[in-house]
Chains A and B, each alone.
Chain A
Amino acid sequence: MRLSVTYRKIPKPALALLMIVAGVAGRILLAAAPNVEPVLILSMLAGMLLGGIYALVVPVAIMGLSDLYFYFVPYEGMYPAFSIVGLAAFVYSGYAFVSLMGGFLMRRRLLWRTKTIAIFTTISVPLTIAYDVWTAFGNWMFISPPGTSLQQVYAMQVPFTLIHVFSSLLLAPILGSIFLAIHSFGVPVPGESPADTGQDSQ
């Protein structure tokens, strides 16, 4: 008997769980470099590969679980609940928007092709900018000191958006390839070679 690797498709809930685990771990591990984060790309992937309710569940679960860590460990007691909830409304809705747009713009483009990853990566740039415009507005409403103009907030946002675009450009092909491959082919599992077992591979 000879062992070989076969590929097993995984159901949507399992793929969603994998995205949530990757998102929570990635967001916490990359916390030392703010705006370099995997959540935006994973939100796009959730909308693109899973769709439906998962387009909302995946980004909200990633943010909810990782926020529990951030607001109870490194930033414990630093921000009032009003600011946290207010900013969260913008951040969560921003990711939900990215997820829905990812699903809409990448519909019928789920083939395992370079073109799919290239389009996915390209789309991630305007979605990152749109997300930053939206959340900077939330920042202005809930975090910025009184007297700060929206124009000042957007001016200060520019270098951070550059880093966020870099993050998306970096992670879109990497995470996109991994999750598109898992979606298209499944995950590798050890199994017996069909030729050696005498069974028809069909």
Chain B
Amino acid sequence: MRERTKALAFVAVWLTSLLVLVAAMGRPADLHAPAAGIRVDLTVRGDGWTIEYRPEGTLNGTVFSILREANETLGFDLRWVEYGWPYDDVYVTSINGSRNDGSRGLWWQYCVNGEYASQGAQHQEVRDGDAVLWTYAPPGGVELCG
């Protein structure tokens, strides 16, 4: 086989492999913007403090976008790291001055309606009447959601 034919065959196999892998792992970013305003109960439980936010008719439909709305409305400090494709999500590193702290084992985690997070906050949809809790605690599970 000529070298050029080999190169073309390799590029074809290479591109096909990449496409198959993208199909296997990819999910498009979905910001879940609700069509009509929804009511959400947001509680942020930090290191000796609590923030509560109860928007009526918000158009923000993810756990992170509700937190961002509270941050902009109430003015507390919020820091996060954005992850691009293929994650398209965020990692919250600090809320109201309480920073993820590996030496004390305290990290920001969230629950929705008493269920521990199962995906990134940017992808977790919230619906009308949902209760969202952000808690600063050692890594855990549903026991953090009470």
Interface residues of A (CB under 8 A from B): 32-34, 74, 77-80, 83, 113-115, 117-118, 121, 145, 159, 162-163, 165-166, 169-170, 173
Contacts and interface: CB of A to CB of B under 8 A. Distances in A.
Q: Is the interface of B mostly helix, strand, loop or mixed?
A: mixed
B96 interface: no
A83 B25 CA distance: 29
B90 to A, nearest CB: 11
A162 B24 contact: yes
A166 B14 contact: no
A32 B85 CA distance: 8
Nearest to A76: B99
Given A114-B7, A114-B10, A166-B18, 6 more contacts: A34-B83, A78-B93, A80-B103, A113-B6, A118-B13, A162-B25
Please indicate which of the listed interface residues A114, A165, A173 has the most CB atoms of chain B within 10 Å of its own CB: A114
Contacts of A33: 83-87
Contacts of A115: 6
A93 to B, nearest CB: 22
Contacts of A121: 14
Nearest to A158: B25
Interface string B53-97: 000000000000000000000000000011111110000010000
Contacts of B21: 162, 165-166, 169
A173 B14 contact: yes
A181 to B, nearest CB: 13
Contacts of A165: 21
Contacts of A166: 18, 21-22, 25, 86
12 contacts: A32-B83, A78-B100, A79-B102, A114-B7, A118-B13, A121-B14, A145-B139, A162-B21, A166-B18, A166-B22, A166-B86, A169-B17
Nearest to B82: A32
Contacts of A145: 105, 138-140
Interface in B1-51: 3, 6-7, 10, 13-14, 17-18, 21-22, 24-25
A32 B79 CA distance: 15
Contacts of B10: 114, 117-118, 173
A78 B99 contact: yes
A89 to B, nearest CB: 17
Contacts of A173: 10, 14
B101 interface: yes
Contacts of B25: 159, 162-163, 166
A199 to B, nearest CB: 32
A126 B102 CA distance: 32
B87 A77 contact: no
B145 to A, nearest CB: 16
